[in-house]
């Protein structure tokens, strides 16, 4: 009997569909060994040797694996095809090998029975073909990948267990945590909020001209320049520079607009008609980060929800592995997709040669694949069964459309730009486009409507019927959403696919950030922690430094660097900074917002404070007076259950809801205002 070990029961159940009775499939239930929670678990004086233990809640499962392995002729390690999966396989093998060696010693066997009898198989989709192909081509454990995972785990443990107690001491909050990537993420959010707060709105105007055509009808165009000097039609905010960019002069007030309109002079001539064909190619299939971004933007999913749903789709055999930086797809899928497209839409929708996408990321492994369906012809409607719900179908539909469309023909547009110039040098411009051939848009749909403009010819004279000025005001830079933050982290080389979802959850759970209508807003605690870390640990929050650390971890996985020197290079100055900060840094006093209310117990002022589970009202006479109550903004509604005030509260996950101010005496709560009846 051959024993196959995977991570989850769902994955085990899916594999069992394809394999016969000669195989027994067991789940490790994730990691079987880890660093201890109560201590550092890393020997910093002896090459950062980690002390792994079997967590108490994994003892039963580990014993089950041992029992199964003892009865097996061979153990096959089939955990996920990434560093975490390789590490799980390594630790399972280590536990089973240790067990077998002990048995061999007791029975005086010369050779342990299963020691060395491990095979490692990897697959990127859970289909019968992929599983049998993997079984036919096993390999050894990749110790370079194991080292890279171990280096990340040790690095994060050193930062977390050394820096977090320092934050507890200096900010007097014992739930605080710090991390290489999560702290950088909070810093980005904090810096964006400061840009928003100091932003000064500017007034600007645009002018549209409505021109009559000689044969009837009219055409609208926007003023763009005077004697070649451009007017700004919009101000574009640069996400990285943190400022609005302008390329020309600004119509900044109504008086200047009226002066320009008064200066318009006939005749108006069509000075240019630029007609051209535009071809647009489909996007590459999804990587982890682009899937999280699109699912957030289109489906309003959090990154955590996206990954949970993708995990289910992968383990049930519907999509390929969902943690990947690669946009590569298999030749098998390309052939399937091209065949499906031809049969569904006709040969015109298939390009002459297959589309192959090159991964820009220097860390992606081309042997891995992008996220794609395991069957090109399986639409979302085909997975309405079992434990799947509407959200599973919506995410699958997103993945299916993107992957199949990536192998379709380009979309072709007829684009026309028309310039209209006055006799004294004012130039107006209008443009439009018409889809000539929809190509891949047949599947993905059209994001914008066609803009059809009248047919005019160069040299034709028009008359100005009306001038329409419009007032605008510049808006502050946008707050980050999970999608835009993940995009920024990826572009700056911070973090990796498996880290983004837990980071988003952690920064909210730690009260560094709240969610306000999908936007990420830093709390005062987030500001305070960020400022403290920037002052005393600038490297930890330095974006290039953090990106460099990620590159080092990738170099370890590629066999280009050893993990111990990489950790030592980081830890030596980091440890010195820790010791110095304990001595030099003053305690940080968080700002407390007073409310116009006295303590009902002792009569002192009440203030808003931040605790482990969010904001709360507390007495300034603490610790002499321990009066507290839940915090919430009044919503001007009475509780339908007890008649108390309804207040707007925030859940532990950062989501706002309506609750009774008399909690815990009254537990009424509702997510939406209209549900309060």
DSSP 8-class letter at 253: S
Cβ neighbours for 248, distance < 8 A, ≥ 6 positions apart: 225, 229, 230, 231, 232
Residue located via tokens 């067991």: 26
- For residues 481 and 520, is the Cβ–Cβ distance under 8 A? yes
Half-sphere exposure of 143 (CA within 13 A, CB side): 5
Buried b (16+ CB within 10 A) or exposed e, 287-316: bbbbbbbbbbeeeebbbbbbbbbbbbbbbb
How far from chain centre, in Å, is Cα 270? 47
Q: Looking at residue 49, what is its pLDDT?
A: 96
Cα maximum dimension of the chain: 106
- Sequence-distant (≥ 6) Cβ neighbours of residue 432 within 8 angstroms: 415, 416, 450, 451, 452, 453
Q: Within 13 A of 116's CA, how many CA atoms are on the CB side?
A: 3
Q: Pairing mode, if any, of strands 236-238 and 229-230?
A: unpaired
Contact 169, 582 (CB under 8 A): yes
Helix orientation angle between 482-491 and 180-198, rounded to the nearest 10 degrees: 110
Find all residues with CB under 8 Å of 575, minimum gap 6, and list them: 44, 162
Catalytic, out of 314, 321, 396, 536: 321
Cα gap 601→619, rounded to integer Å = 9
Question: How far is residue 122's CA from residue 137's CA, in Å, rounded to a whole number?
Answer: 9
Task: Please name which of 476, 477, 475, 510 lies closest in space to residue 185, comparing C-alpha atoms.
Answer: 510
* Residue 209: strand, helix, or coil: strand
DSSP label of 216: S
Residue 115: per-residue pLDDT = 39
User: Residue 594: CB partners within 8 Å, gap ≥ 6?
Assistant: 605, 606, 607
659 forms beta bridges with 647, 669
DSSP 8-state code for residue 249: B
Categorise residue 109: left if φ over 0, alpha if ψ from -120 to 50, beta otherwise: beta
Please give the pLDDT value at position 247: 45
Whole-angstrom Cα distance, residue 601 to residue 621? 10
In this prediction, the residues of the chain whose per-residue pLDDT falls under 50 are 110-116, 237, 239-242, 244, 246-247, 362-366
Strands 513-516 and 42-43: unpaired
Does 631 qualify as catalytic in the annotation? no
Domains of the chain: 2-141 (3.40.50.140), 149-199+478-584 (1.10.460.10), 203-281+414-473 (2.70.20.10), 288-405 (1.10.290.10), 593-675 (no CATH)
What one-character DSSP code corresponds to residue 195?
Answer: H
Per residue, what are the HEC states of 63-126? HHHHHHHHCCCEEEECCCCCHHHHHHHHHHHHHHHHHHHHHHHHHCCCCCCCCCCEEECCCCCC
Distance between CA atoms of 615 and 612, rounded to whole angstroms? 8
Write the burial class of residue 573 (CB in 10 Å: 0-12 exposed, 13-18 middle, 19+ buried): exposed
635 three-class SS: strand
């Amino acid at each position: 009997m051959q024993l196959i070990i995977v991570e989850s029961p769902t994955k085990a159940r899916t594999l069992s569909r394809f394999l016969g009775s000669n195989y027994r499939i067991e789940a490790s239930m994730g990691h079987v060994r880890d660093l201890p929670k109560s201590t550092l678990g890393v020997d910093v004086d002896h090459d950062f040797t980690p002390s792994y233990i079997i967590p108490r809640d994994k003892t039963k499962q580990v014993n089950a694996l041992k029992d199964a392995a003892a009865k097996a002729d061979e153990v096959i390690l089939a955990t996920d095809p990434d560093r975490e999966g390789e590490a799980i396989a390594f630790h399972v093998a280590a536990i089973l090998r240790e067990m077998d060696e002990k048995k061999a010693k007791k029975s005086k066997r010369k050779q342990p029975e299963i020691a060395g009898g491990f095979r490692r198989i990897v697959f990127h989709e859970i289909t019968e073909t992929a599983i049998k192909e993997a079984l036919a081509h096993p390999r050894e454990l990749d110790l370079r990948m194991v080292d890279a995972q171990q280096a990340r785990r040790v690095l994060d443990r050193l930062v977390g267990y050394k820096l977090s107690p320092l934050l507890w001491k200096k900010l007097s909050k014992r739930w605080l945590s710090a991390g290489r990537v999560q702290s950088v993420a909070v810093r980005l959010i904090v810096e964006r909020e400061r840009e928003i707060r100091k932003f000064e709105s500017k007034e600007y105007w645009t002018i549209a001209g409505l021109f009559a055509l000689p044969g009837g009808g009219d055409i609208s165009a926007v003023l763009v320049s005077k004697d070649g000097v451009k007017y700004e039609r919009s101000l574009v905010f640069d996400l990285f520079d943190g400022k609005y960019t302008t390329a020309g002069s600004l119509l900044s007030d109504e008086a200047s607009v009226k002066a320009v309109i008064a200066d318009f002079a006939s005749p108006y001539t069509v000075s240019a008609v630029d007609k051209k064909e535009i071809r647009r190619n489909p996007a590459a299939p999804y990587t982890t980060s682009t899937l999280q971004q699109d699912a957030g933007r289109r489906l309003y999913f959090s990154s955590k929800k996206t990954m949970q749903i993708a995990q289910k789709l992968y383990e049930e055999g519907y999509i390929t592995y969902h943690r990947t930086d690669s946009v590569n797809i298999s030749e098998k899928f390309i052939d399937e997709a091209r065949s499906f497209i031809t049969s569904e839409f006709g040969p015109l929708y298939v390009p002459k040669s297959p589309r192959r996408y090159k991964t820009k990321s220097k860390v992606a492994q081309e042997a891995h694949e992008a996220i794609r369906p395991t069957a090109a012809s399986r639409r979302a409607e085909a997975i309405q069964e079992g434990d799947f719900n509407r959200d599973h179908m919506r995410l699958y539909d997103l993945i299916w459309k993107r992957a199949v469309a990536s192998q379709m023909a380009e979309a072709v547009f007829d684009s026309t730009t028309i310039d209209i110039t006055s006799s004294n040098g004012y130039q107006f411009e209008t443009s439009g486009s018409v889809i000539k051939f929809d190509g891949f848009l047949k599947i993905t749909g059209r994001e914008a409507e066609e803009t059809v403009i009248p047919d005019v010819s160069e040299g034709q004279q028009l008359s100005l019927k009306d001038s329409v000025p419009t007032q605008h005001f510049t808006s502050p830079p946008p707050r980050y959403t999970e999608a835009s933050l993940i995009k920024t982290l990826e572009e700056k080389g911070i973090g990796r696919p498996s880290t983004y979802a837990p980071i988003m959850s952690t920064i909210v759970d730690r009260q560094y950030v709240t969610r306000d209508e999908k936007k990420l807003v830093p709390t005062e605690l987030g500001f305070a922690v960020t400022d403290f870390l920037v002052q005393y640990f600038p490297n930890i929050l330095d974006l290039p430094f953090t990106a460099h650390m990620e590159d080092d971890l990738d170099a370890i996985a590629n066999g280009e660097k050893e993990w111990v020197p990489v950790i030592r290079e980081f830890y030596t100055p980091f440890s010195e900074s820790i010791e110095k900060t304990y001595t030099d840094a003053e305690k940080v006093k968080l700002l407390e917002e007073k409310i116009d209310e006295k303590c009902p117990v002792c009569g002192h002022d009440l203030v808003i404070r931040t605790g482990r589970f969010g904001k709360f009202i507390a007495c300034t006479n603490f610790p002499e007076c321990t009066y507290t109550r839940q915090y919430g903004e009044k919503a001007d509604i009475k509780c339908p259950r007890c008649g108390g005030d309804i207040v707007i509260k925030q859940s532990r996950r950062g989501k706002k809801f309506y609750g009774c101010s008399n909690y815990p005496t009254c537990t009424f709560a509702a997510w939406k205002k209209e549900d309060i009846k």
